[in-house]
Structure 1
Amino acid sequence: MTETATIEDLARAADDAGASLVDEVNNLADRLTPRRMVDEALTVVKARGSDLARDAGNVVKAHPVATGAAVAAIGLALYAGNRISKAEIDLGHDLDDYSDYEDSALTAAATDGDVGDEARALVQDNPVIAILAGIAAGAALALLFPTSTAEKRSLGALARRVTSR
Structure 2
Amino acid sequence: LNAEGLDNSTLEIEIMSQKDGVTHFFKMQNRKFLETYRAATQTAAQFNEKYGYVKTKPVYTTVTKTFIADAIPESDKPKALRIASNPMFAGEFAAAAGAGAGAAVENFAVAKVWIEDGCIVCNACEGIFPEVFEVTDDTCLIRPDAPLDDGLKILEAAEACPTEVIKFDKAN
Scaled by the length of structure 2, the TM-score of the pair is 0.22
Comparing both chains, which one has the higher relative contact order based on Cα–Cα distances under 8 Å and sequence gaps of 6 or more?
A: 2
* Structure with greater Cα Rg: 2
Going by fraction, where is helix more abundant, 1 or 2? 1
